């Protein structure tokens, strides 16, 4: 019987790996759960905070700090440039929360390969690990992009239900679109961090999640500055290059780790 194996071809190998990863991603419940959480998160935040009244003068009168709530839908996406990152509801509860979710998603996605033993099937026939790293980075990025878009849709629906203003204000429509693209490209940074930690931790999911969350916390304060609501083309390019640089750099390290360490 003639063997169907041909000479190694990187592009073919990458193509098959991408096919496997995207097929897996869309056949596992995780991506839908994550997308669902991303969708319902802004709906719940916007509707619940509006229902509680927010910015309550009663609370202030009693000496309690008033809770700053959302008055505009786009506040749940990001804040305007030049404004300091506030440690209140509007400052913390926005799309940036999803980066932690993206990291968890990538960690689970990678760890599942090792926990199920599928990594044995993958790496026995793949002596070169670069296609795996590229494919996982792209799948992680795509998963992250889906979550950001789901959040965006959820924010619009939540805002409409809560009766919040859709006024684009100083940010402008183009700024909000650029902001969304910047946010999407930023997921590549978190996906590559999670991938790196996933390859280090392998089947130890808790370790990769813990590491990713810790690394995410370090970057978290920088995100509002890089991706303000009134983002410009420059912000998009900056996030794209940042995502690409992180992807390439950390991807190379992940590749090295996979090549130099035991896989089971």
- Cα separation, 129 vs 14, in Å, equals 10
Kindly state the smallest distance separating residue 198's Cβ from another protein, in Å: 17
Q: Given the rule CB under 8 A, which of 21-29, 42-50, 149-157, 229-237 is the region that contacts another protein?
A: 21-29
Residue 155 tokens read as: 């924010």
For residues 101 to 120, the per-residue mask of contacts with another protein, x marking binding by CB under 8 A and - elsewhere, is -----------x---xxxxx
Minimum distance of another protein from residue 98's CB (angstroms): 25
Number of residues that bind another protein (CB under 8 A): 37
Distance of CA 73 to the CA centre of its chain: 20
Return all residues near 224 (Cβ < 8 A) that are at least 6 apart: 78, 79, 85, 91, 96
Assess 126 for contact with another protein (CB under 8 A): yes
- Minimum separation from the CB atom of position 9 to another protein (A): 9
Residue 246 tokens read as 């992180």
Residue 86 touches another protein, criterion: CB under 8 A: no
Per the CB < 8 A criterion, the answer to whether 69 and 51 are in contact is no
CB closer to another protein, 3 vs 62: 3
Residues shown for the chain = 264
In the complex with another protein, which residue's Cβ is closer, 218 or 260?
260
Contact present, 110 and 135 (Cβ < 8 Å): no
In the bound state with another protein, the residue whose beta carbon lies nearer, of 131 and 230, is 131
| β-strand partners of 165 | 72
Which position among 128, 242, 253, 257 is part of the footprint of another protein (CB under 8 A)? 128
Angle CA 48–50–55, to nearest 5: 120
Q: Which residues bind to another protein, rule: CB under 8 A?
A: 1-5, 7-8, 12-13, 15-17, 19-20, 23-24, 27-28, 112, 116-128, 260-264
């Amino acid at each position: 019987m003639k063997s169907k194996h041909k000479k190694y071809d990187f592009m073919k190998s990458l193509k098959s790996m991408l096919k496997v990863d995207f097929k897996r991603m869309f056949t596992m419940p995780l991506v839908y759960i994550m997308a669902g959480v991303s969708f319902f998160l802004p709906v719940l935040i916007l509707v619940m905070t509006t229902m509680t009244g927010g910015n309550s003068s009663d609370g202030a009168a009693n000496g309690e700090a008033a809770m700053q709530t959302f008055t505009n839908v786009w506040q749940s996406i990001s804040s305007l440039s030049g404004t300091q990152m506030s440690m209140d509801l509007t400052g913390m509860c926005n799309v940036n929360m999803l980066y932690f979710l993206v990291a968890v998603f990538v960690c689970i996605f990678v760890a599942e390969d090792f926990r199920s033993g599928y990594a044995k099937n993958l790496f026995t026939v793949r002596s070169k690990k670069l296609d795996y790293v590229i494919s996982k980075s792209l799948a992680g990025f795509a998963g992250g992009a889906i979550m950001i878009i789901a959040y965006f849709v959820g924010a619009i629906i939540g805002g409409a239900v809560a009766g919040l203003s859709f006024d684009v204000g100083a940010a402008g429509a183009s700024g909000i679109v650029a902001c969304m693209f910047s946010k999407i490209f930023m997921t590549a940074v978190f996906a590559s961090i999670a991938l790196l930690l996933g390859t280090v931790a392998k089947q130890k999911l808790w370790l990769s999640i813990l590491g990713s969350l810790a690394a995410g916390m370090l970057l978290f304060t920088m995100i509002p500055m890089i991706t303000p609501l009134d983002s410009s083309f420059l912000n998009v390019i900056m996030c794209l290059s940042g995502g690409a640089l992180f992807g390439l750099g950390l991807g190379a390290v992940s590749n090295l780790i996979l090549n130099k360490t035991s896989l089971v």
